[in-house]
Structure 1
Amino acid sequence: MVRKHSESSCSSEDCQDHEEYTLSDDAVVTKYQVAAEITNVVLKVIFSLTIFTFSCFFFQEVIANVKDGAAVGDLCDLGDKLIQEKTGMLYKKDKNMTKGIAMPTCISVDNCICHFTPLRSEAPVILKDGQVVKIDLGTHIDGLIATAAHTVVVGASKDNKVTGKIADLLCGTYDALEIAIRSLRPETFNYDITNRIDQVAAEYGVTPVENMLSHQLERNEIEGAKNIIQNSGEKKRGEVEKVKIEKHEAWAIDVLFTTGKGQTKETNTRTTVFRKDERVSYQLKMKASRVFLHDVNKQHGPMPFSLRGFEEEVKAKMGVVECEKNGLLVPYPVLYEKEGEFVAQFKATVLVMPNGLLKIAGLPLDSEVYKSKFSVKDEILQKILASALKPKKKKVAKKPVPAANGQQKE
């Protein structure tokens, strides 16, 4: 028997817990920032975009592998391992605090749109020079989530610049992300941001991938109550409620553009990423399924996870079937564009604060490597793109202080 709980129902303890974890609390903001710092560091390690202080072993390992000949699965392992190691070093005194992977490392190549993290038993996917590589991952501290995604071209460098349609794709996607972030102002409607994302794509001659969502982040909820959709058809647009951005909200802004038509499809690629649906309960029949779900609860809780992370792959593949079939798990299928096209993805985590916006997770695009012939031309979009995340404080002129003798004192 399947029982779905009402989304609006919660125990008094749960509701009280939800109220305590708001961005009006400095401790909550700090945990978001710590999670974001780990997310950013791991992305930097995988892409080797900058020099930074880190273990020589890991740095050398990445330098040796992130290039033509790198195995996607090995890089997925590296990303997940680093997140687990770095979160494991924090808040050790609080034994009840959960922390770790909020989104398993997914590496999607060329026309693969998202959620690709292969099993070890599958044939290895090897990177080649010139391929467009998207890495998506996330970290949580105490259920507070920071996710990010970044796109690079294998072999690209300052001495080997990227131009043409792939550069147009990456630059357009990144500019759309920055405009969407700067649009997260209180009282702005989500569909205003949708329109701006779609407009940037048109200016760069590329297409937003259909119906991709940016999600509000809540504690233990990677897909919160509010959403921003891109390139929505009329039917899908009606499914996303029109809402306003408000102060003290956390958002994962996720923009995906393509050189193709933007239509997604599933192939025979196995889905390996799932998350538990906390609203559903079901009495599993198979022992393998019960053991698997117990391990999911213990290791991942409500966060997305990959079957790649389980030591006994065969048992995990057996256990996941009954769980997914009966709605206990939400699948993240591997999606594709048309063969021969390319997809870029940039994602950032942003906190909407009373004094402005905090972009805490997400890496900058290397403008010295990726050179597009296009740029944002619309004056309104230009103004948004040039705007500061935090408005500059206006200087208040000091009033002259009257002197004792009646003369004014500067």
Structure 2
Amino acid sequence: MSAAEQPKEENFADVTLTKYKTAGEIAAKAIKVVIALCQEGKTVLELCQAGDKAVEEGAAAVYKDKKLPKGSAFPTTISVNNVICNFAPSPSDDASKTALKANDVVKIQLGAQIDGLASIAAETVVVGASAASPVTGKAADAIKAAHTAAEVAIRLMKPGALNHDISKEVEAVIKEFGCSAVEGMQSNQMGKDEIDGKKKIVLNADPGSRPDACKLEENEVYGVDVSVTTSADGKTKSEESRTTIYKKTNSTYLLKMATSRKVFSEIQKKAGAFPFNIRALEDEKRARMGVQECANHGLLTPFHVLVDAKPDAVTAQVFFTVAVNSKGAIRLTPAPSWYNAELVKSDKEVKDEKTKALLATSVRQTKKKNKNKKEEASA
């Protein structure tokens, strides 16, 4: 292939960033659809289906004139109370019929992708909360801790920042609210057809699974997961029997069962490199059989449902996708829409002066703002 025939690398600041942001807007709109359905009596399955539909419709409405892969980057998950993540039951699961109750703490996570560039987001809402009946107590502490820690995290996402330093500062903020970071939750570098790149930021890491030290660099993209719990140690346990989400790996293996080969072929066509829910496959019963053989031989990675080891714990989550930039992080997913001080009333506040000073700064410094500040000073 001649130099002239070589595909041009996209300009990050223009074309690539636009695709990430478009995916982020689709994800944010889909989350709003799900938030509107977070009412007493609605089932987890209904919310998952609504979120997935909103992502697909949002993706179908953009880049119509170009043959780009687009759609879901992460299936909708609805994790309630002490359930931390990855809960997305299929219709055959008894849990799919479980209805939401007043005061349930609901984590909504989903993602969209345009041309293999993914933006994933999550936020936490409480069923029935209003300005007249706000969230209080430990649920309010956990939700406020997650949002405050996320605001700290995004301000730390700058070139040269060390992953271990970011973890340490975010964990410290969460502790100010009498909460803990959920053990081992990862924030991963992202890229084309990749949501779990080499560089990682891990909160409350077990000493044996601490990631290698690394520095953030300009134009890198990260999916940042801030998951908080009211339990003292943040220990989790896996409920493997409830697993419905999987992602294709780069491994190879000659599958023995014809059913498995057919299922794997469908996965490659429908989901590509991104996580999928077995509910999205043609025949769920056949899919469960095929997926099992694929997972046993390393062709698929399961996303197990994680719960807090303490049943009475309350967990909260904020997940955002961000691009690292020298002038401050660039939000690729809009800020959470549900949370505000009228709905969530915690009596706990950040006391650390360094953290308060950081929170008082803008996420992103721009020339225009600096110019306005100079004009104000001269006036």
Q: How does the TM-score come out when normalised to structure 2?
A: 0.92
Work out which of the residue numbers 35, 42, 61 in structure 2 matches 1:47.
35
Structure 1 21/212 Cα, relative in aligned 2: closer, same or farther at 3 Å?
A: farther
Q: In structure 2, what is the equivalent of residue 112 of structure 1?
A: 83
Instruction: Name the CA distance, whole Å, in 1 between partners of 2:29 and 2:340.
Output: 16
Work out which of the residue numbers 192, 203, 206 in structure 1 matches 2:176.
203
Q: In structure 2, what is the equivalent of residue 341 of structure 1?
A: 313
Corresponding position: 1:294 with 2:265: yes
Q: In structure 2, what is the equivalent of residue 395 of structure 1?
A: 371
Q: In structure 2, what is the equivalent of residue 225 of structure 1?
A: 198
Is contact 1:21–1:219 with CA below 8 Å preserved after alignment? no
Work out which of the residue numbers 195, 199, 215 in structure 2 matches 1:244.
215
Instruction: Name the CA distance, whole Å, in 2 between partners of 1:274 and 1:357.
Output: 30
CA deviation after TM superposition for structure 1 residue 285, in Å: 0.8
Q: Which stretch has the larger CA shift, 201-210 or 355-364? A: 355-364
Instruction: Name the CA distance, whole Å, in 1 between partners of 2:11 and 2:245.
Output: 28
Corresponding position: 1:310 with 2:294: no
Instruction: Name the CA distance, whole Å, in 1 between partners of 2:346 and 2:11.
Output: 40
Corresponding position: 1:69 with 2:58: no
Deviations 1:266-291 (A, max 9, x none): 2353211000002x011111111001
Q: In structure 2, what is the equivalent of residue 371 of structure 1?
A: 345
Corresponding position: 1:35 with 2:23: yes
Is contact 1:22–1:248 with CA below 8 Å preserved after alignment? no
Residues 117-266 of structure 1: pairs in structure 2 closer than 5 A? 117-123=88-94, 124-237=97-210, 240-260=211-231, 261-266=233-238
CA deviation after TM superposition for structure 1 residue 94, in Å: 2.2
Q: In structure 2, what is the equivalent of residue 404 of structure 1?
A: none
SS of residue paired to 2:146: helix
Q: What is the one-letter code of the residue matched to 1:37?
A: E
Q: What is the one-letter code of the residue matched to 2:254?
A: Q
Instruction: Name the CA distance, whole Å, in 2 between partners of 1:383 and 1:226.
Output: 28
CA deviation after TM superposition for structure 1 residue 310, in Å: 1.9
CA deviation after TM superposition for structure 1 residue 23, in Å: 2.3
SS of residue paired to 2:247: strand
SS of residue paired to 1:84: helix
Is contact 1:209–1:257 with CA below 8 Å preserved after alignment? yes
Deviations 1:313-366 (A, max 9, x none): 101111101100000001100011121111101111111234332112141422
Matched residue pairs, number? Answer: 363
Instruction: Name the CA distance, whole Å, in 2 between partners of 1:255 and 1:354.
Output: 23
Is contact 1:130–1:155 with CA below 8 Å preserved after alignment? yes
Work out which of the residue numbers 327, 338, 341 in structure 2 matches 1:355.
327
CA deviation after TM superposition for structure 1 residue 263, in Å: 0.5
Is contact 2:249–2:301 with CA below 8 Å preserved after alignment? yes
Q: In structure 1, what is the equivalent of residue 245 of structure 2?
A: 273
Structure 1 366/395 Cα, relative in aligned 2: closer, same or farther at 3 Å?
A: closer
SS of residue paired to 1:90: coil
Is contact 2:79–2:106 with CA below 8 Å preserved after alignment? yes
Instruction: Name the CA distance, whole Å, in 2 between partners of 1:395 and 1:109.
Output: 46
Instruction: Name the CA distance, whole Å, in 2 between partners of 1:127 and 1:351.
Output: 35
Instruction: Name the CA distance, whole Å, in 1 between partners of 2:99 and 2:271.
Output: 28
Residues 2-21 of structure 1: pairs in structure 2 closer than 5 A? 20-21=9-10
Corresponding position: 1:332 with 2:313: no
Is contact 1:23–1:353 with CA below 8 Å preserved after alignment? no
Is contact 1:161–1:369 with CA below 8 Å preserved after alignment? yes
Deviations 1:85-139 (A, max 9, x none): 12112222322x1100000000001111100000101111211001110011000
Instruction: Name the CA distance, whole Å, in 2 between partners of 1:117 and 1:189.
Output: 34
CA deviation after TM superposition for structure 1 residue 377, in Å: 1.0
CA deviation after TM superposition for structure 1 residue 386, in Å: 1.5
Is contact 1:106–1:137 with CA below 8 Å preserved after alignment? yes
Q: In structure 1, what is the equivalent of residue 253 of structure 2?
A: 282
Q: In structure 2, what is the equivalent of residue 80 of structure 1?
A: 52
Instruction: Name the CA distance, whole Å, in 2 between partners of 1:34 and 1:343.
Output: 29
CA deviation after TM superposition for structure 1 residue 21, in Å: 4.5
Is contact 1:108–1:133 with CA below 8 Å preserved after alignment? yes
Deviations 1:188-228 (A, max 9, x none): 10111100111012110011110101111111001112110
Deviations 1:235-274 (A, max 9, x none): 122xx11111111111111101101131110235321100
Please say which structure displays the higher CA radius of gyration.
1
Q: How does the TM-score come out when normalised to structure 1?
A: 0.85
Instruction: Name the CA distance, whole Å, in 1 between partners of 2:182 and 2:327.
Output: 33
Instruction: Name the CA distance, whole Å, in 2 between partners of 1:370 and 1:120.
Output: 33
CA deviation after TM superposition for structure 1 residue 392, in Å: 4.4
Q: Which stretch has the larger CA shift, 148-157 or 83-92? A: 83-92
Instruction: Name the CA distance, whole Å, in 2 between partners of 1:272 and 1:221.
Output: 20
Instruction: Name the CA distance, whole Å, in 2 between partners of 1:386 and 1:224.
Output: 31
Q: What is the one-letter code of the residue matched to 2:353?
A: E
Q: What is the one-letter code of the residue matched to 1:39?
A: A
